[in-house]
């Protein structure tokens, strides 16, 4: 029974009877959504890890699907659009550690209640209960971020991500968008929907770098990872 | 409040970000002019909410008046609407453009360096505290909380109906082992349970008085059936348990009627026009389906028409067939009282007027149902004309006779078509004899010409 680090910083793999994706629990002894916790003694130090369910979390599904870079690493600042009840946000909070910050934006009040409860325990989560379509409404709460993760499931989600990127994402920052084909257009084929979304992103200066489908965890879902206003490479004229 | 030092650099929008790469560079292009601290979180919260509604609170007014008016320079604002309000109230010129956005991005990225005396940890703590108090404020003071009651009430009503049905069926089954004939005589569920509760064991029927619950003949029937029943005997404990179940059923039934009244009251209070147009139940279901009254108000009339028939709608859209004509609105009384031919038309008209009523209830200030009553009267008049049009086609009016088609007897004698019997192909490949001869002639002529040429 061992826990070894994953290629992505901050994420770990638990090798036991069944392998699982885990993150280091920032609040040992507490479960956020009833997930399994694993206590391991490493070199005399007791560490607690929380299992990450890829069927409930799109980010875990992307990591297990083999995405090249998630860009969310310790000490980074993340803007999370569509935080819902805070299940995936808690794992992001584990990855970035106490020095990072994740701004969790969620519009629904019912889910926002649960999100605020999660944020009470973890001080690197800042809950924002506003509509992500109007980033100017919460501009006082958020500084510049390094990564935007969007899981909003709205038909105009490219526009939402673009607006937030123009206001909060630093130059050279990255974005991860989870696209649900059914949500954008339920009559068109999934590939056509993904291609049109990628085109919309390119028009807003959000350069996509990789696209990955979330099979077998979700159907007709894809994750697009890219860079915003890439910094000019040093040495170029 | 920051002042731009070098305005020429503002001309190049694209390279503006380079100026903010490091804190030192940033300090060269903008300078901190004034920094106002909030006394505590409550003050900050008040300022935040004022900004959100588009109003300027006193503190901001003071700062702007004092400093910007003296400087006589335009103020760059990130939010165009706020700029408009500032211009109106304080008469200061404001600018909002892509340059301003770039500037804001730069300032935001170098916030720590530009404001001396504020550590990053302090900033983070401030953000966290403010965000939590803001979230709490949002959750408590949600203006649309009132219609949550309706959504919950209608869901509870559906749940209660299902549970009640289950319990009643179980009760009938269970007691049916003891006295099966009672189930067939009394068809109404509530009366059955009340009767059961009063009497209990079969032996008590002769002496029991059921005149309040049942009419005379039925009571006599029940008493007669009790004498010659073929059910089993049951002990005291068993009857006790059945009686418990009965009491539960009666309580739930009463609660259900109470809940229905409550729902009617709430609907009339929250959305009077919708109630007048489609009825309380359908109105409540529409609101529950959309989530809240405000959400429902954002839908188009065509959406409200087919709300509730999503499965059929998307199935039809994907296979390019006809989409459904009505969803939840089918159960409105106006649609129910028309003939099947006109249900589609009426549902469309009703949806169009209902959407107006919904928006009036959601966004309007007064809570009278005059508009709903008017619209409903209009719809009913239109419904009557629709029905009349159908009747007039047959009987005609005073001025014009009804048009009828001339009667022609169409003989419908059906014969058997034997062409479908044989699976062998019909003679299309055999060339006809005249064709063969002609083709041979043409070939001969060509051969002769060729011979002549060679020669």
Return the structure tokens found at B107: 């300032």
The total of other beta-carbon atoms located within 10 Å of residue B104's CB is 17
pLDDT tens digits, B327-348: 999 999 999 999 998 999 999 9
Element (H, E) at A172: strand A169-180
- List C-alpha distances in Å: B189 to B164, B232, B251, B255: 10, 22, 13, 15
Report pLDDT for A236: 44
Contact A166 B51 (CB under 8 A): no
**Is residue B209 located within the same domain as residue B296?**
no
**CA end-to-end distance (rounded Å), chain B:** 110
Does the pLDDT of residue A27 top 80, yes or no? yes
Could you give the domains of chain A?
2-51 (3.30.200.20), 54-228 (3.40.50.150)
Residue B376 falls inside a structural domain: yes
Report pLDDT for B257: 96
**Is residue B228 located within the same domain as residue B174?**
yes
Interface of B with A in 288-327 (CB under 8 A): 314, 317-318
Report pLDDT for B397: 72
Contact A139 B78 (CB under 8 A): yes
Q: Where do we find the tokens 């310790």?
A: A74
Are B205 and B182 in contact, with CB atoms under 8 Å apart? Answer: no
Mutation for A interface: B126, B138, B142, B313, most A CBs within 10 A: B138
- The mean pLDDT of B161-171, rounded to a whole number, is 95
Percent of chain A predicted with pLDDT > 90: 84
Residue B358 falls inside a structural domain: yes
pLDDT tens digits, B302-331: 999 999 999 999 999 999 999 999 999 999
pLDDT tens digits, A165-192: 999 999 999 999 999 999 999 889 999 9
- The mean pLDDT of A206-226, rounded to a whole number, is 94
Return the structure tokens found at A148: 């935007």
Residue B323 falls inside a structural domain: yes
Q: Identify the residue with better confidence: B41 or A52.
A: A52
In angstroms, rounded to a whole number, what is the distance separating the alpha carbons of residues A108 and A127? 12
In 3-state terms chain B splits into helix, strand, coil percentages (rounded to 5) of 70, 0, 30
Report the number of distinct structural domains present in chain B.
Answer: 3
Burial of B236 (0-12, 13-18, 19+ CB in 10 A): exposed
Element (H, E) at A171: strand A169-180
**Is residue B280 located within the same domain as residue B174?**
no
Query: DSSP letters along B286-338, please?
Result: HHHHHSSHHHHHTS-HHHHHTTT-HHHHHHHHHTT-PPPS-SGGGGSHHHHTS
Mutation for B interface: A85, A101, A109, A205, most B CBs within 10 A: A109
Instruction: Kindly report which listed range (A81-90, A168-177, B56-65, B221-230) carries the lowest average pLDDT score.
Output: B56-65
Residue B440 falls inside a structural domain: no
Write out chain A residues lying below 8 Å of B317, CB-based.
Answer: 186-187
**Is residue B67 located within the same domain as residue B156?**
no
In angstroms, rounded to a whole number, what is the distance separating the alpha carbons of residues B213 and B224? 17
Q: How far is A31 from chain B (nearest CA, A)?
A: 21
**Is residue B91 located within the same domain as residue B125?**
yes
Does the pLDDT of residue A91 top 80, yes or no? yes
Pick the closest to residue B312 from B331, B303, B300, B325 (CA basis): B325
Write out chain B residues lying below 8 Å of A101, CB-based.
Answer: 124
Does the pLDDT of residue B196 top 70, yes or no? yes
Q: How far is B63 from chain A (nearest CA, A)?
A: 17
pLDDT tens digits, B236-247: 898 999 999 999
Q: Where do we find the tokens 């056509």?
A: A192
Q: How far is A140 from chain B (nearest CA, A)?
A: 8
B111 touches chain A (CB under 8 A): yes
Burial of A146 (0-12, 13-18, 19+ CB in 10 A): buried
Report pLDDT for B435: 62
Contact A167 B104 (CB under 8 A): yes
**Is residue B125 located within the same domain as residue B16?**
yes
B17 touches chain A (CB under 8 A): yes
**Is residue B316 located within the same domain as residue B362?**
yes
Residue B417 falls inside a structural domain: no
**Is residue B173 located within the same domain as residue B99?**
no
Residue B427 falls inside a structural domain: no
Percent of chain B predicted with pLDDT > 90: 36
Expressed as residue numbers, the domain containing B24 is: 2-139
pLDDT band at residue B441 using 50, 70 and 90 as cut-offs: confident
Cα dihedral B272, B275, B280, B286, rounded to 10, equals -100
Of B327, B357, B387, at which residue does a domain stop? B387
- The mean pLDDT of B267-272, rounded to a whole number, is 91
Interface of B with A in 73-92 (CB under 8 A): 78-79
CATH code where residue B30 lies: 3.30.420
Chain A / chain B CB contacts < 8 angstroms: 69
**Is residue B278 located within the same domain as residue B253?**
no
**Is residue B28 located within the same domain as residue B61?**
yes
Cα dihedral A93, A96, A100, A105, rounded to 10, equals -40
Q: How far is B86 from chain A (nearest CA, A)?
A: 16
Residue B312 falls inside a structural domain: yes
CATH code where residue B236 lies: 1.10.287.4070
The total of other beta-carbon atoms located within 10 Å of residue B259's CB is 16
Report pLDDT for A237: 43
Write out chain B residues lying below 8 Å of A109, CB-based.
Answer: 138-139, 142
Average pLDDT, chain B: 84
For the complex shown, is ipTM > 0.95? no
What is residue B44's three-state secondary structure? Answer: helix
Q: Is the pTM of this model over 0.80?
A: no
Write out chain A residues lying below 8 Å of B108, CB-based.
Answer: 143-144, 168
The DSSP symbol for A42 reads: E
Mutation for B interface: A102, A116, A184, A185, most B CBs within 10 A: A116
pLDDT band at residue B432 using 50, 70 and 90 as cut-offs: low
**Is residue B63 located within the same domain as residue B183?**
no
State which residue of chain A sits closest to B82, comparing Cα positions: A136
Of B139, B173, B190, at which residue does a domain stop? B139
Report pLDDT for B192: 92
**Is residue B31 located within the same domain as residue B159?**
no
């Amino acid at each position: 029974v061992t826990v070894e680090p994953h290629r992505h910083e901050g994420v770990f793999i638990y090798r036991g009877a069944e392998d699982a994706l885990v993150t280091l629990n920032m609040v040992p002894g507490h479960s956020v959504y009833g997930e399994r916790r694993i206590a391991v003694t490493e070199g005399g130090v007791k560490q607690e890890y929380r299992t990450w369910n890829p069927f409930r979390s799109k980010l875990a599904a992307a990591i297990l699907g083999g995405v090249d870079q998630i860009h969310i690493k310790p000490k980074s600042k993340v803007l999370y659009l569509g935080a819902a009840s805070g299940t995936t946000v808690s794992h992001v909070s584990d990855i970035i550690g106490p020095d990072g910050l994740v701004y969790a934006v969620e519009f629904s009040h019912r889910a926002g209640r649960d999100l605020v409860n999660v944020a009470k325990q973890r001080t690197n989560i800042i809950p924002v209960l506003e509509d992500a379509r109007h980033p100017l409404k919460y501009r006082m709460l958020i500084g510049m971020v390094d990564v935007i993760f969007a899981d909003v499931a709205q038909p105009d989600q490219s526009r939402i991500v673009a607006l937030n990127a123009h206001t909060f994402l630093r130059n050279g920052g990255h974005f991860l968008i989870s696209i649900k084909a059914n949500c954008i257009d339920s009559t068109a084929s999934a590939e056509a929907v993904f291609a049109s979304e990628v085109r919309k992103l390119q028009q807003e200066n959000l350069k996509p770098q990789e696209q990955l489908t979330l099979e077998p965890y979700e159907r007709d879902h894809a994750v697009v990872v890219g860079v915003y206003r890439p910094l000019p490479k040093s040495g170029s004229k | 409040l920051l002042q731009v030092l070098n305005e020429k650099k503002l001309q190049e929008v694209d390279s503006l970000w380079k100026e903010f790469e490091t804190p030192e560079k940033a300090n060269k292009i903008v300078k901190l002019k004034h920094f106002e601290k909030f006394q505590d979180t409550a003050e900050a919260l008040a300022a935040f909410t004022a900004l959100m509604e588009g109003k300027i609170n006193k503190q901001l007014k003071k700062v702007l008046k004092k400093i910007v008016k003296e400087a006589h320079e335009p103020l760059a604002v990130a939010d165009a609407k706020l700029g408009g309000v500032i211009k109106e109230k304080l008469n200061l010129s404001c600018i909002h453009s892509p340059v301003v956005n770039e500037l804001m991005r730069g300032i935001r990225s170098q916030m720590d360096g530009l404001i001396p005396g504020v550590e990053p940890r302090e900033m983070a703590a401030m953000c966290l505290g403010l965000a939590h108090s803001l979230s709490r404020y949002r959750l408590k003071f949600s203006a649309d909380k009132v219609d949550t009651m309706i959504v919950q009430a209608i869901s509870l009503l559906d749940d209660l109906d299902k549970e009640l049905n289950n319990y009643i069926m179980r009760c009938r089954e269970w007691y049916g082992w003891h006295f099966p004939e009672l189930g067939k005589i009394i068809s109404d569920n509530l009366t059955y349970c009340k009767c059961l509760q009063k009497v209990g064991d079969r032996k008590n029927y002769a002496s029991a008085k059921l005149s309040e619950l049942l009419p005379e003949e039925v009571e006599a029937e029940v008493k007669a059936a009790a004498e010659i029943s073929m059910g089993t005997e049951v002990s005291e404990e068993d009857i006790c348990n059945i009686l418990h179940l009965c009491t539960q059923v009666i309580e739930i039934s009463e609660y259900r009627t109470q809940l229905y009244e409550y729902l009617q009251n709430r609907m009339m209070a929250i959305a009077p026009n919708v109630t007048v147009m489609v009825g309380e139940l359908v109105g409540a279901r529409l609101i529950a389906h959309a989530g809240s009254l405000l959400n429902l108000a954002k839908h188009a009339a065509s959406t409200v028409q087919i709300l509730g028939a999503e499965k059929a709608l998307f199935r039809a859209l994907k296979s390019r067939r006809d989409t459904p004509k009505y969803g939840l609105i089918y159960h409105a009384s106006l649609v129910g009282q028309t003939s099947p031919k006109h249900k589609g038309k009426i549902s469309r008209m009703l949806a169009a007027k209902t959407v107006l009523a919904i928006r009036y209830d959601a966004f309007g200030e007064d809570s009278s149902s005059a508009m709903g009553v008017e619209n409903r009267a209009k719809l009913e008049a239109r419904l009557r004309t629709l029905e009349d049009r159908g009747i007039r086609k047959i009987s005609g009016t005073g001025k014009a006779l009804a048009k009828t088609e001339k009667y022609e007897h169409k003989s419908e004698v059906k014969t058997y078509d034997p062409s479908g019997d044989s699976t062998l192909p019909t003679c299309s490949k055999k060339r006809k004899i005249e064709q063969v001869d002609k083709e041979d002639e043409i070939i001969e002529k060509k051969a002769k010409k060729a011979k002549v040429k060679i020669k």
